[in-house]
Structure formats: C-alpha cells, structure tokens
Structure 1
Amino acid sequence: MTELTIKRLGHLGDGIADGPVFVPGALPGEQVTGTLAGDHLRDVRIVTPSESRVKPPCPHAKSCGGCQLQYASDRFVAEWKRDVVRQALEMQGISADPGLPITSPPQSRRRATFSVRRTKKGALAGFHMKASDTIIAVPNCQLVHPDLAAALPMVEALGVLAASRKGELSVLLTLSDTGLDVSVTGGKPLDVDLHQSLAALAREYDLARIAWDGEVALQRRAPLVRLGTAHVTPPPGAFLQATKAGEAVLVESVKQALTGAKHIADLFAGCGTFALPLAERAAVHAVEGDRDMVVALDHGWRNTEGLKRVTHEARDLFRNPLLADELARFDAVVIDPPRAGALAQVAELAKSSVSRIAHVSCNPATFARDTATLVGAGFDVEWVRVVDQFRWSTHVELVALLRRVR
C-alpha cells in the first residue's frame, strides 16, 4: 500500500502527487492510499479529504465517465479553471486576470452523444465508464437537459432496431427549438425495412429529424435553432455550442468586443453562432470550411428580416487562410477555431491592418499560443472571460478582446 499527498490537479482532472503519480478522483491537499501501478495509483482511498470535496450531485458519478469533477465544490472547479487559463497565458508571457468562469447550470446540455449496445433482452444506452468500453445507464443524469435524459428509451429502441450484437451505435441527440434532432452512426445499412421502422419510431417519439451516417433519413419538421433573431437548421451532426446559457455569454461578449464595427469577418463561422447576431448591427462576411454549414447559415440569414448583409464562403482556413490583404476591408474579426487553434490564419491576422479581434477558444493552450503571436504583432489583450459550458468536466472555453495598439 502506497500513501501519497496530492499536490495539484492535472489538466485531465487527476490529482498529481510527487513523482509524478496520477491519482484519479483526488484533490490537492488530500492524503490518499492505493496500489502503485507505474505512474498511476489504483484502488484509491481518500484518507484525509479536502475541504473542497463534496458529495457528487449525480447518482451515476462513481460509475459514469462523463463527468470528471463532480466530487469537487463549484468554487474549487471555478478557481481551478480560471487558473488553467491564467497559467496558459503566463507560459506565453501574457499577463491577464480573467474572472471566475460563468458556468452553465445543471441539466442544461442541449446535445449529447449516447452509446448503445444490443443485449439479450433489448438494448442498453448511456455513457461509457471512464477508460472503458462498458456502457452505464444514466437515467438520472444531472448534466444533460431533461428532454435528452427522457429520450433514453428512444435511444434504446434505436439500438434494438439497428445495432448489431457485436457493435455499438453512437447516437447524437440535439434539442432543437422544434424537437429532438437525432444523428446515428455505426448502425446497420439503411434499407427499406429499417427506414419504415425509423419512421414509426419518429412518430412514436415525436422526433424532428433522424440522420443516418451523416445523411438525412427522414425529417418530420426542420430542427430549428435560434441564433440571434434568425432560425437555422444545422446539417446533421453539425457543431453547436453545448448550452444556450453558455452560448448567450459568448455571443454577448463578442458583440461587446466588436461594438461599433461596421464590417466584420467571422472566421470558422459554423452555422452562424456569431455571424447572425452580429448582423443585427454590422455587415458580416462568414467563412467556414464545411459547405453544408455555410448553406444553413445563408438560409437562416435570407429568411430573417432586419439583418444587415451577410456574405459567405466555404474555405479551409487551415490550408487557405484569409490573407492580410483580404482582411484589409474588415475593421474587426471574430475567430473561433477548433481545439488545434489557427496558426496559419493567426499569422495572417498578425500581418493585417485589422484593429480588433474577438478571440473565442475551447483550448487555453492553443488560445495562448495564438494570442502570443498577435501580441507580438502589436495587439494588446484588453480582457479575457472564462465560460464553463461543460460543467463538472475539465473542459473550459474563453473569449477575449484583442486590440491593436501599434
């Protein structure tokens, strides 16, 4: 038996003792015992608990791998996530003082991917155990919106219809304003019989749409998502912000950062999360690599009254970024790249005459790296906000205003 003292919390949510030794489920300051296996401690027992340790609010917390930090107080998690952002910036030589995260409430996740496996008596739907292929049923999940939790019987019915005994279905549920949008991957080929069964299931559970391996199998009504004053029908499986509350904070922050701008470029625009609200008071050029998302954005703009002009293009900004001379016609930019960041595009922004950038990110490390490039080119970080849409997880999002000072 090994006894250790936890010194800090790692970026993946494990406690870290000297060595380093990684201890799942442990918090800084705790005395723990367990069996040492390489650089991990197994069969962990908390001997002296931290004052920040709380009873997990979800009954599935011990078995489900969906949440990493339910045993830590909200205050501890908020301070830790703020420090993750601050430390990432400090490593790049940037001094900033973000406030505590604005955290989405429990049961507010509007999209989640459930795993489904056939059983002898039917099917089992839920989330995986941590680092395991075992699926755990989560009927009382405290993370997802109640309408998603209530749809688990429908997900299991999909498993009975379309999962093989050896394979596993992946079912992405998105709660749209007009009902559930269902996107299935890993199922049987979609033949006539299965299509008829899916139609019956959609009627029984009043589903808006079912997509099969990325293609729309049936649509009873368009799954609409409100972005600003516009209504958009995202393509199957398209990216959306995880919670409405988190999205609202990000959108308002971006609008505040770009107040007064007349011509804005929205880079990595998606379906228009920022472009469409910004178009309420500025002309916007939206650039996105996924053509179907661009089409959805354009359709939303064309069918909404009162918006200023929104132009668009489908363009791979990793391989073909907007060049400095192309950026010259914009007085402000919002950029929201994926986790890898946007090295090539940021390099062009650094060379451009753009005076303001609203930088949104889901990865503090690549955000700090890209921001350092912009600071080196004459930008100043006016403020940074931390947004926690992924409650009880190690994920964190942020938005910052960068203004050119030289």
Structure 2
Amino acid sequence: MTDHLTDTIIRVAARGDGLTADGRSAALTAPGDTLAADGTIIPGPHHQVPPCRHFPTCGGCQLQHLDDESFAQFIIDRIQGALAAHNLSTDIRPPKLSPPKTRRRAALQAELKQGRVQIGFSENASHALVDIQECWVLTPELFAVIAPLRVLLAKFLRKNRRARLHLTQADQGLDLLIEGIEAEGLDAAEAISAFALAHNVARFAIDSGVGPEIRWEPEPVTVTLSGVPVPLPVAAFLQATKDGEGALIEAVRLATAGAATVADLFAGLGTFTFALPGKVYAGEAARDAILSLKGAAALARRPVFADHRDLYRRPLTTAELDRFDAIVLDPPRAGAREQALLLAPSKAPSIAYVSCNPSSFARDAEFLCQGGYTLDWIQPVGQFRWSTHVELAAKFTRRPA
C-alpha cells in the first residue's frame, strides 16, 4: 500500500511513459512500479532489467524495461484507446510477440566522427547517433555485417555527412542499399566486390541522390512469400520479422476462410496474395512491387490478377468490391480512408484489415461499422520488439440486412 508521498504506475502511455492513477508520468517505468513524490522509482514486478547496454539512449527501442506481460498489455491498451476514441470495442486477442533478435530489415545511419565510422540508430528525440556495439532486435545475420561495414564505409564517408543504410535479409543473403555516399573508380568497385563476397551480400546498391544503382548482384535477389519466390526490388517493404509475417498471414487466412475470390488491396510484394487460396485480385500503387508480384504469380502459375493502381487516388468502387467474397486491406500508416468509405456500403461478406497504426485503423473501422459491418476481433502482433509501434489484423463481417 502506498502513502501520500508515493503512487503506483498503472499503465504505459502511447509514447512509452508510465502513468499513475492521478495522471503523473514518469519515463522508463512499468506497471507496478512505485513513484515517490521526489521522482524516485522503485521497480515493481513487471520492471525488467533491459538486456541491451545502449538502452535507453538508443532510439531503436523504447520499452526494454517492460516484461512480456506488460509489453503485451501496452499493445492492447493502445488498440483499446484508439477504438474508444471512435466508440468501438471488440474482442482483442493476446498479442503475438516476435522474439528478440529476429528483425530481418532495418534502416540505420552511419557517420564519420573523430576518425571512426559510427553506425546505429539515432538517440531518442535527438539527431545524435548511437554507435551500436550490440543489438537485441536485429537478427544475428544483420548485426554481423555492422562491424565490416564500418571498415568499408571509412573509404567513402565524408566528414559531417551521414549515410543511410537499408538492410534486408533476402533468400540469397543480405540486401544492402546505402544512401548518401559516392563510390567511383576501380578501387571502389573492387572494395565493394570483396566486401560482398566476404559477407554474404546478395545485392549492394548505392544511391548518391539520383536513385539506386546496383553495384553487386550476381544472381537475382528474391524473397520467398508463402512458398513463392518473389523478385525483391531495392529497399522494398517487407514485414519486419518472419514470425510476425506468419502471425499476420494466419489472421488474414482466418478472416477470409472459405472465400473463393479475394481482393488484396495495398498488396505490396504479395505477403497475403500468395497465402490466399482461390482467385486473387492484387492492387498496388508501387510499380516495382506490383511487377514483382505479377512475375512471381505467373511463374508459379497462381490465379492472380495484378493491377498497378493507386488506391488513394483511384480506390476500387463499391460495384467492383461487390464481386469479391472477401477483401484484404493492408494500407500504410495513413490508413485507407478513401477505400474504406467505398467498402462500407459494399456486399463483400468479410474483410481482413491489417494495420500498423491503431488510430487510422479505428477511424476506418468506424466507417465500416457505420456502413453495416461488425468488428469481430483483433489480433495484435508485436513484431517491433520493445517499440511503441503497434500492428494488428482484424476481421469484419457484413451484418445481415
């Protein structure tokens, strides 16, 4: 029991600070921590020792001090809060959390400072760079290339200029795009080739300001989605972890079970397209992504119609949506407002909505529910370990007329 000088953290707010019942906030606190009047924090049962030496300085993680139970509850609270803002509620299932060291794509920064190349994430709320010596979210394969990259980039980085590194694990090895450097001449080409051969780099591309230029790709780079090898464009979007991808696919399959024809909107490379049985319409605005999806579907002889279509400027009409047994939506963080407004009055029996932003999801969910759909359940997915970034998959069904 606490006295008037202390209070207890009851939940974690959206940006990661702990809150007491009377609204006091404290950074780096977990539910059950005791907050004294002088600001001293007494750890409670859900406050774990952060595993990484760089926490909390490194901006790659915000919640390493939470145990799995309180991290899962943080995710649920974020979703419940977003729904409540739109007078919605539903069954929220236990979050599926990706294990540590499983993130297969990342964007890092590099700079030459005091004669040494530093690579890492920016500090929280700062432009200062944390030179990571360990990382508890990246796969070991991604982290293993950080130290060799310091040596390579020492040849190309200019003082007071940062480079941005995009790292992705592909079927053939590491896919690497570096923005903000120039590497011209025979010596540079030989250094890049030697680096790629030594460190299992499947593709090495450089963008010096005019678009990616591939410097190394001995064989076409692919990523396998539901058993289908799909050509991987440079720096293309991919779900952050394999198990997170699997959890989202499982939820989408459950939400669309029994559908013979499905529209996969904002389809990307086909994360859900190739996981769905029956005939699939795949709509996507990114040209490289939809061409990759189309080519992969043709080689795999899958019944997929790939459409290069901007679903913000030209969403599917209600009449077009009426032709499908189920709809899959996986929009960017902004959500799918324009498409949701046309989907709300449609006859599609079921909808699977995948979101990386509970706020825009809740807004679109309100449109759908006002149009005659029921929000059946939500499956949270925590593939951005120890981050305030929340993802989910949800099922809607058309209410009987």
Shifted more, 290-299 versus 206-215: the winner is 206-215
User: Is 1:370 paired with 2:364?
Assistant: yes
2:290 aligned residue: 294
Does the Cα contact within 8 Å between 1:139 and 1:149 map onto a contact in 2? no
Summarize deviations over 1:259-300 as a string: whole Å, max 9, x none: 21111111000000001121xx21111111100000111122
Matching of residues 249-398 of structure 1 within 5 Å: 249-278=247-276, 281-304=277-300, 307-398=301-392
Partner residue, 1:230: 228
Q: CA deviation at 1:220?
A: 2.0
Q: 2:292 is matched by which residue type in structure 1?
A: A
Percent identity between matched residues is 37
Change in 2 beyond 3 A, CA 1:23/1:209 = same
Secondary structure of the equivalent of 1:358?
strand
Q: Secondary structure at the match of 2:344?
A: helix
TM-fit CA distance, 1:22 = 5.0
State the Cα distance separating 1:337 from its structure 2 match: 0.5
Listed as ranges, the gaps of 5+ residues in structure 1 are: 36-44
Once the two structures are superposed, what CA deviation does each residue of 1:53-85 show, in whole Å capped at 9, x if it has no partner? 111122222332211111111101111211211
Q: Which moved more, 1:91-100 or 1:103-112?
A: 91-100
Partner in structure 2 of residue 38 of structure 1 = none
Separation in 1 of the partners of 2:185 and 2:282?
38
RMSD: 2.3
- Aligned-partner Cα distance in 2 for 1:104–1:375: 30
Structure 2 counterpart of 1:245:
243
Output the amino acid matched with 1:112: A
Distance between the aligned counterparts of 1:153 and 1:253, measured in 2? 38
Q: Which residue of 1 aligns with 2:50?
A: 56
1:116 partnered with 2:114: no
State the Cα deviation string for residues 318-342 of structure 1 (Å, max 9, x = none).
1111111222221211000011101
* Kept in 2: contact 1:225–1:231 (CA 8 A): yes
Q: Distance in 2 between matches of 1:221 and 1:348?
A: 43
Structure 1 counterpart of 2:147: 153
Secondary structure (helix, strand or coil) at the match of 1:351 reads coil
CA distance in 2, matches of 1:212, 1:20: 48
Aligned residues: 392
For residue 194 of structure 1, give the secondary structure of its aligned residue in structure 2. Answer: helix
Hey, what does 2:87 align to over in structure 1? 93
Offset of residue 193 of structure 1: 5.1
Amino acid at match of 1:219: E
Contact 1:139 1:150 in 2 (8 A): no
- In the alignment, is the contact (CA less than 8 A) between 1:32 and 1:48 conserved in 2? yes
Distance 1:12 1:47 in 2: 19
1:399 to 374, 393, 398: 393
Give the structure 2 partner of residue 41 of structure 1. Answer: none
- The TM-score normalised by the length of structure 1 is 0.90
**Structure 2 length as normaliser, TM-score?**
0.91
Whole-angstrom distance in 2 between the partners of 1:190 and 1:275: 40
Match of 1:13 among 16, 35, 52: 16
The 1:190–1:336 alpha-carbon spacing in structure 2 relative to 1, beyond 3 Å, is farther
Which segment drifts farther, 52-61 or 153-162?
A: 153-162
Shift of 1:191: 5.8
Q: How many angstroms does 1:125 deviate by?
A: 1.2
- Deviation string 1:106-155 (CA, Å, 9 cap, x unpaired) is 11100111211113443111222222222223232111100111110232
Would you say the 8 A contact 2:240–2:383 is kept in 1? Answer: yes
* Structure 1 counterpart SS, 2:324: coil
Aligned-pair CA distance for 1:192: 5.9
SS state of the match for residue 346, structure 1? helix
User: Are 1:164 and 1:188, in contact at CA under 8 Å, matched by a contact in 2?
Assistant: no
Whole-Å separation in 2 of the counterparts to 1:254 and 1:148: 28
Maintained 8 Å contact 2:33/2:47: no
CA distance in 2, matches of 1:46, 1:14: 15
1:243 Cα offset (Å): 0.3
In structure 2, stretches of 5+ residues that fail to align are: none
Q: Following TM superposition, by how much is the alpha carbon of 1:222 offset from its aligned partner in structure 2, in angstroms? A: 2.5
Q: Secondary structure at the match of 1:162?
A: coil
After the TM superposition, which of the residue ranges 213-222 and 339-348 deviates more from structure 2?
213-222
Answer whether contact 2:353 2:394 (CA < 8 A) is retained.
Answer: yes
Assess if the C-alpha contact under 8 Å between 1:30 and 1:46 holds in 2.
Answer: no
Q: Would you say the 8 A contact 1:108–1:143 is kept in 2?
A: yes
Partner of 2:83, secondary structure, is helix
